[in-house]
Chain A
């Protein structure tokens, strides 16, 4: 259903790495960094073995640590888990009801004297209001990190997502726009932030601070370099696929399309819309069964609940169940409490989300779209 993703120079570059005798610490990781920095027009691109490693390192570079609050959006958990690795305390900003992306007003409302940084997720290939979020961050004097795991080469108001925040983090894991199996790239124009990230991922003898092995191998980087040469062509194909799926949702009065606001590009990753059938006499379970019978891989309800309701945030199971950083941490002087209703928009949206992979060929998307139309008709018939 997808596109053949490894039909380029992957083998040629991998053979060069093998011939060099250096599988790590060689030329290819640096070459990928240089090529990515050039493609993005950014001063620093830093590769690592995963986007999670880079989020952990980005929080460190941003100065977030024990006792500090960091602000996250609640539809996913990756940034918040990374914050726990720095012993920082995630706080949750709600999302907008039409885009399902971080609401700048909620970011502002959650900033306290304990806040060190925030991380916005440009979820499923659409950008949040990055200019407004950056303005809020700058006014508060905090670092804004963008999680762009789903947002490769995503334009927003004249420049790419990833360049609006102080740091942008991209994922190269198996299911992403371009892949190295696992892997990630961070971008920043800030020398100090770049050095902070590199200081965590570049483990060596007598490290100056708490560092570990988050390096990307040259084998991975060779694949990444080949992928980078063609990822924008893939994204152009996925945009055609997105249009076929979006047209079906636009036709249906009881499905709410996801808003793409003025100035926002689209780097399709997951196609998503909202079920509102109960307001029109259509039953969700009937629609779910009809979607299942299409034979396509639809998901209804995503994670069902916001990330802050996950067990490891609700009960003290991190750090050998000794409480830090969320439950009775002696260094935390804030008053934030984990409870239901922290992000009412996210809580209302999540069970109604309907998702399908959008990184599929245009031909495949036409088939998915036709079968979605049939599922809609079947659900309406009851």
Chain B
């Protein structure tokens, strides 16, 4: 298992890229994509908490898009 309990620029960019690529994914889809693209296998709970924190990002950030769906917003 990988660890997403610490904030790193690399993991933040990876998640933002995945959400941007998938359009309106669920956290579970992001979790699966982290594993397949980067071999980063983290518990869903950690992925969700990391994604919640990326709502604070700038200029790229995540936003809720209905229950359990996410979008990437570029405020730049």
CB contacts (< 8 Å) of A301 on chain B: these are 56-58
Judged by a CB distance under 8 angstroms, whether B32 is at the interface is no
A289 and B75 contacting across the interface, CB-CB below 8 Å: no
Question: Pick the contact of B7 from A289, A297, A305, A309 — CB < 8 Å?
Answer: A289
A295 and B5 contacting across the interface, CB-CB below 8 Å: yes
A305 and B75 contacting across the interface, CB-CB below 8 Å: yes
B75 and A300 contacting across the interface, CB-CB below 8 Å: no
Report the count of interface residues on B (CB-CB < 8 A): 12
A298 and B61 contacting across the interface, CB-CB below 8 Å: no
B58 and A299 contacting across the interface, CB-CB below 8 Å: no
B13 to chain A, nearest CB (A): 15
Q: Which of chain B's residues has its CB closest to A304's CB?
A: B58
A29 to chain B, nearest CB (A): 24
CB contacts (< 8 Å) of B61 on chain A: these are 304
Q: Which of chain B's residues has its CB closest to A301's CB?
A: B56
B75 and A299 contacting across the interface, CB-CB below 8 Å: no
Number of cross-chain contacts by CB at 8 Å = 34
B53 and A292 contacting across the interface, CB-CB below 8 Å: yes
CA distance A300 to B55 in the complex (A): 8
CA distance A289 to B52 in the complex (A): 13
A298 to chain B, nearest CB (A): 7
CA distance A301 to B73 in the complex (A): 14
CB contacts (< 8 Å) of A300 on chain B: these are 56
B56 and A289 contacting across the interface, CB-CB below 8 Å: no
CA distance A47 to B6 in the complex (A): 44
Judged by a CB distance under 8 angstroms, whether A288 is at the interface is yes
CA distance A293 to B75 in the complex (A): 26
A351 and B7 contacting across the interface, CB-CB below 8 Å: no
B62 to chain A, nearest CB (A): 11
CB contacts (< 8 Å) of B6 on chain A: these are 289, 292-293
Report the count of interface residues on A (CB-CB < 8 A): 15
CA distance A362 to B49 in the complex (A): 22
Q: Which of chain B's residues has its CB closest to A290's CB?
A: B7
Question: Pick the contact of A351 from B5, B53, B58 — CB < 8 Å?
Answer: B58
CB contacts (< 8 Å) of B53 on chain A: these are 288, 292, 297-299
CB contacts (< 8 Å) of A298 on chain B: these are 53
CA distance A304 to B74 in the complex (A): 11
Q: Among B6, B7, B49, which residue has the most Cβ atoms of chain A within 10 A?
A: B7
Q: Which chain A residues (280-303) contact chain B, with CB distance < 8 Å?
A: 288-289, 292-293, 295, 297-302
Q: Which chain A residues (25-48) contact chain B, with CB distance < 8 Å?
A: none
CB contacts (< 8 Å) of A302 on chain B: these are 56
A16 to chain B, nearest CB (A): 28
CB contacts (< 8 Å) of B58 on chain A: these are 301, 304, 351
CA distance A168 to B55 in the complex (A): 29
B32 to chain A, nearest CB (A): 23
CA distance A180 to B61 in the complex (A): 30
Q: Which of chain B's residues has its CB closest to A296's CB?
A: B49
CB contacts (< 8 Å) of B75 on chain A: these are 304-305, 309
CA distance A295 to B5 in the complex (A): 7
CA distance A298 to B75 in the complex (A): 20
A177 to chain B, nearest CB (A): 19
A-B contacts, 8 listed (Cβ < 8 Å): A288-B7, A288-B53, A295-B49, A299-B53, A299-B55, A304-B57, A304-B75, A305-B75
Q: Which residues of A contact B (CB under 8 A)?
A: 288-289, 292-293, 295, 297-302, 304-305, 309, 351
Given A302-B56, A304-B57, output 9 extra A-B contacts at Cβ < 8 Å: A288-B56, A292-B7, A293-B6, A295-B5, A299-B52, A301-B57, A301-B58, A304-B56, A304-B75
